[in-house]
Amino acid sequence: VAGLAAAGALARAGWRVTLIERGERLRGVGTAQIIHPNGVAALRALGLHLGDLAFPAPPGGIRRPDGRVLVEPGLPGPRNGHPGAPTVRSPVPSDVPSSAPPDSPSSASPEVRPLVSPDVPSPALPGVRSRGAAAGDRAGRAAAAARDRSAPDVPVVLHTDDLHDLLLAALGDKIEIRTNTEVTAVVTAGADWPAVVAGRHTFTADLVVAADGAGSVIRQRLVPRSRVAPAGYTAWRALVPWFRAPRLPEDVPPAGELLGAGMRFAYATLGLRRRAGEPAGVGGDEPTGGGVYWYATAPGAPRPESVSTQLTLLRRWFAGWHSPVAELLAATQVGDLVPQPAVHLSEVPERFGFRVGGGGVVLVGDAAHAITPSLTQGACLALEDAVVLGTLMRTAVPGEGIAERLDEYTRLRRDRVCRLDRVARRLDRVAQVQGRLAVAARDAMLARLATRVLTPAVAAAADWTP
């Protein structure tokens, strides 16, 4: 997400971009993604509109493994953004911006461009050089804006592939994509211009954008003290497609979260889609998408076993949990499951931009500020980064003013991501508690703690405008 969004933002700003991808092709992870209001705002600033690709995250609640309600639907919950149970307040979820002051990174936003739609990437690293931009479609912009004006300002859930397709289609024809190319080093010391090394090739640019994930090779070279640190638990994600998704019992809401001793299980239902152009009842009733997205955590380091064995372990660990946990795990196949180690950075870098000769290197997304997944803000923060970087670089001239703009990028982004890093860790401490007495105390205080402490913090995370 960070690499594609940054590449698109810089291309819009007039830069000529080379996007370097280590995989054989740009592709998504095949699950689903929660996008909060700040992420939706960032997409709009990039000229992208989700349209009917996304589904509003429905109100949910929080229950114990035995089904007893801890936080009723319609009350604030301790983690608005957890993948799967994105809301716990009706009709607006707890992580929607409230009275928290906006954290505006810039008074200007990139030019809005037309609605587009296809996708995919993984750790991507755009190297940037020179200028040249494409024109937009006014009719497309107007239609997309009209659709977005009616969209609720709440979190939405969509297929990860759809988000990646959207970003990929927005790149246009001014971007060169190099796949199957893994960056192994960055050249900065004594250089006139920054460069990255990939095998036998060296790519020199005016600006190198490091969007290569939490384990960023470039960040390790520039900020060696900022290392990946485990959060003490592991997460698993899966999207059960509509044709295998179980029918939920009448008393089970379409989204929600169950909270146990150091373990969580959250889920959200994606709406069913009809064939394009076919109204309901006219050959268009057969669903072609949708399904149920779920997310689970358990304490400990990433499991060394195969994905098949991990799925078996999950079914064993969550056996006896209230519906729909067992049903969803039973319907999940090995190819659906994506293990995800929960990590953060031991130290957020003091700066995200570094001058190299007449150009520079800048960190975006998880490469700059990986936080634990409890907020489900990783993709949203990456989109924010792209908006801010594209805006700052719109008038930049290589060799002139790059350093000042990189300093401004750090100023506009670092305080915000440091605050969200603290919020995510606070949520982890609440949700991941273990021990009979500690769990009982948390469950007894959960609704009050959510209302007074956690919900306002999470609301501030989603409160951002470009």
Q: Residue 172: what pLDDT?
A: 78
Long-range CB pairs of 248-251 (<8 Å, 24+ gap) are 248/323, 248/324, 248/327, 249/323, 249/324
- Supply the pLDDT for residue 121: 34
Name the amino acid, one letter, at 147: R
Is-contact 196 218, C-beta < 8 A? yes
How deeply is 299 buried, as exposed, middle or buried, from its count of CB atoms within 10 A (0-12, 13-18, 19+)?
middle
The H or E element spanning position 44 is helix 37-45
Per-residue model confidence (pLDDT) at position 74: 58
pLDDT tens for each residue of 101-139: 333 333 333 322 222 323 333 334 444 444 333 333 444
Which one, of 123, 124, 348, lies nearest residue 227 by Cα?
348
Prediction pTM value: 0.81
Integer Cα distance of 102 and 184 in angstroms: 38
**Tens-of-pLDDT digits for all 466 residues of the chain?**
999 999 999 999 999 999 999 988 887 777 899 999 999 999 999 999 998 889 887 667 889 999 999 888 754 444 333 433 333 232 223 333 333 333 333 333 332 222 232 333 333 444 444 433 333 344 444 444 444 444 446 788 999 999 999 999 888 777 999 999 999 999 988 888 999 999 889 999 999 999 999 999 999 999 999 999 999 999 999 999 988 988 888 888 888 899 999 999 999 888 754 334 444 444 444 444 578 999 999 999 889 999 999 999 999 999 999 999 999 999 999 999 999 889 999 999 999 999 998 899 999 999 999 999 988 899 999 999 999 999 999 988 877 788 899 999 999 999 999 999 999 998 899 889 999 999 999 999 988 887 777 777 777 788 898 8
Helix, strand or coil for residue 283? coil
Cα–Cα distance list, 167 to 22, 110, 162, 340, 383 (Å): 18, 15, 9, 23, 10
Q: Give the list of residues 6+ apart from residue 395 with CB closer than 8 angstroms, or none.
A: none
Angstrom CA distances, 55 to 50, 98, 144, 291, 336, stand at 9, 21, 16, 11, 20
